[in-house]
DNA sequence: TCTGGGGTCCTAGGACCC
DNA sequence: TCTGGGGTCCTAGGACCC
């Protein structure tokens, strides 16, 4: 704020941050009231705690604990598999409720929203904190889950505020109390300052947000870079970060990685893990109707060192077969015999919408079309029989995590079709497990 | 918290050009 | 043939977020 100018209002630019409390478990409780108040977690399908209810947190369950650990800390813990369909349904309802109050809403993550409520006092005949409370209670009444809300002059301030009182809290930060508030905020609680940056700041004697804004802006820019100066302004109540009101549909990259246990030295085992990730990534890329013309493969060893290999393609692809072949070639570059691996991953980048295909002069159009037909079959079969029911035989040997929702088929039959012929023709092998 | 998975953005430094 | 200076583009990797 410029020198000598008094704020005309306690909230010259009122921004809300709305943050759901223990979102996944809260949705589960809303859907099944008998779970209410019980120590509850989601993430069973991954073997780790993805979200813990407040009852579970009170008993010492943390994120991302291993499931076995969580169970021993808290016997009687209710472990659910994630139900993303329901979570994203609740998420959409949350955003649409907030949009009834103001059109300036940013869907920041599945369980968080920013809302700009400037100018709404006349309409609602309430001050800004009252409007914030009105939104909060409306969400709670209609969704049956609680949210915590922060009100401040910038996104950064609103976000710090919403975290201040949880669950079910409301924290307004009026302009005339900003300096008191900043003195109570540790730098690590500022969104954008992570552990590394904070360690550096501490070296210079900067521990609180107040210490931070007391430094010259230039100093923050020199020390931490662009973000440093942006946060400096945001913390002083200047809204630097714009609202992104369009929900994002485009990805810059799509990746899949997975840690497997036990770690392995066996080349084909590690390759199978990688190919499984490739299959998942291409299922996703097709779901979003995208194509990738860049691929990166990375392998992580027991010492947490990663080695990567990447390639570019002339033409974007969404084909599991093409992707699998390329990944396998990149794997050959990155793999070191004898090394103990624990994780593989694939990143697809240089994505574009795959609607219209530009065939180049040298493209084998028939081949491209048949690859696409294969993908349609994969997606359809897997839709019916479960993800990865039909998969590249290169991905064989990957354990499917049990505990997914829905019935696990009582009988699993495995067959490789036309193995000999396919091998002679150099075609990929498919395995179906149903 | 000795480490789960999926993303984005920024920056330093190299390659290349004039 | 060596060197100066400046611009752009790309890449790798770090840091951070949920």
Burial class (CB in 10 A: 0-12, 13-18, 19+), A344: buried
Burial class (CB in 10 A: 0-12, 13-18, 19+), A222: exposed
DSSP sequence for A159-173: HHHHHHSTTT-EEE-
What pLDDT shows up at residue A255? 93
Distance A410 CA to B6 C1' (A): 32
**CA of A259: nucleotide with nearest C1':** B4
Q: How many CB atoms lie within 10 A of CB A283?
A: 18
Distance A259 CA to B2 C1' (A): 15
Q: How far apart are CA A374 and CA A394, in angstroms?
A: 16
What pLDDT shows up at residue A394? 83
What pLDDT shows up at residue A138? 97
CB A8 under 7 Å to nucleic chain B: no
CB A308 under 7 Å to nucleic chain C: yes
CB A257 under 7 Å to nucleic chain B: yes
Distance A73 CA to C15 C1' (A): 32
User: Whose CA is nearest the C1' atom of nucleotide B10?
Assistant: A226
Question: For every one of its 434 residues, what pLDDT tens digit does chain A have, with 9 covering 90 and above?
Answer: 444 444 567 999 999 999 999 999 999 999 999 999 999 999 988 888 999 999 999 999 998 888 989 999 999 999 999 998 899 999 999 999 999 999 999 999 999 999 999 999 999 999 999 999 999 999 999 999 999 999 999 999 999 999 999 999 999 999 999 999 999 999 999 999 999 999 999 999 999 999 999 999 999 999 999 999 999 999 999 999 999 998 777 788 999 998 888 899 999 999 999 999 999 999 999 998 888 988 999 998 888 888 888 888 878 889 999 999 999 989 988 888 888 899 999 999 988 886 555 666 666 788 888 888 888 888 888 888 878 888 888 887 676 544 333 333 333 333 444 455 455 555 566 776 65
Dihedral Cα A27, A33, A36, A41, nearest 10 deg: -50
Show the tokens assigned to A326.
């390329």
C-beta of residue A151 within 8 angstroms of C-beta of residue A132: yes
**CA of A191: nucleotide with nearest C1':** C17
Q: Report the run of H or E that residue A429 belongs to, with start and end.
A: none
What pLDDT shows up at residue A161? 97
**CA of A251: nucleotide with nearest C1':** B7
The DSSP secondary-structure symbol of A186 reads B
Show the tokens assigned to A427.
């075609």
Q: How far apart are CA A397 and CA A393, in angstroms?
A: 9
**CA of A194: nucleotide with nearest C1':** C16
Residue count of chain A, please give it.
434
What pLDDT shows up at residue A362? 65
Residue whose tokens read 């829905």: A406
CB A258 under 7 Å to nucleic chain B: yes
């Amino acid at each position: 704020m410029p020198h000598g100018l008094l704020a005309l209002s306690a909230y010259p630019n009122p921004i809300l941050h709305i943050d759901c409390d223990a979102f996944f478990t809260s949705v589960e409780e809303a859907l099944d009231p008998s779970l209410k108040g019980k120590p509850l977690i989601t993430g069973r399908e991954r073997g780790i705690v993805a979200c813990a209810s407040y009852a579970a947190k009170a008993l010492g369950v943390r994120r991302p604990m291993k499931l076995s650990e969580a169970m021993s800390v808290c016997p009687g813990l209710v472990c659910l598999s994630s139900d993303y369909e329901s979570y994203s349904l609740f998420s959409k309802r949350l955003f649409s409720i907030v949009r009834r109050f103001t059109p300036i809403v940013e869907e920041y993550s599945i369980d968080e929203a920013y809302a700009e409520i400037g100018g709404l006092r006349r309409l609602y005949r309430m001050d800004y904190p009252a409007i914030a409370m009105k939104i909060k209670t409306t969400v709670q009444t209609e969704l049956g889950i609680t949210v915590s809300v922060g009100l401040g002059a910038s996104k950064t301030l609103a976000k710090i505020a919403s975290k201040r009182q949880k669950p079910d809290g409301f924290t307004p930060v009026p302009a005339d109390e900003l300096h008191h508030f900043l003195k109570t905020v540790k730098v690590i609680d500022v969104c954008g300052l992570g552990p590394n940056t904070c360690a550096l700041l501490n070296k210079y004697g900067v521990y609180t947000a107040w210490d931070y804004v007391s430094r010259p802006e230039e100093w923050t820019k020199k020390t931490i870079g662009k973000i440093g100066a942006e946060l400096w302004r945001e913390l002083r109540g200047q809204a630097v970060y714009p609202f992104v009101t369009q929900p994002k549909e485009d990805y810059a990259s799509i990746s899949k990685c997975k840690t497997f246990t036990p770690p392995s030295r066996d080349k084909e085992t590690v390759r199978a893990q990688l190919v499984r990730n490739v299959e998942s990534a291409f299922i996703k890329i097709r779901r979003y109707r995208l194509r990738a013309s860049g691929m990166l493969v990375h392998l992580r060893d027991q010492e947490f060192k990663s080695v990567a290999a990447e390639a570019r393609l002339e033409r974007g692809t969404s084909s599991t077969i093409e992707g699998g072949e390329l990944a396998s070639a990149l794997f050959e570059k990155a793999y070191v015999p004898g090394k103990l691996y624990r994780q593989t991953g694939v990143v697809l980048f240089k994505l574009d919408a795959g609607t219209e295909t530009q065939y180049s002069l040298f493209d084998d159009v028939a081949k491209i079309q048949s690859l696409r037909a294969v993908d349609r079959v994969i997606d359809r079969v897997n839709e019916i029989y479960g993800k990865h029911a039909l998969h590249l035989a290169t991905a064989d040997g990957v354990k499917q995590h049990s505990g997914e929702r829905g019935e696990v088929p009582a009988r699993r039959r495995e067959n490789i079709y036309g193995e000999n012929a396919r091998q002679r023709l150099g075609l990929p092998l498919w395995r179906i497990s149903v």
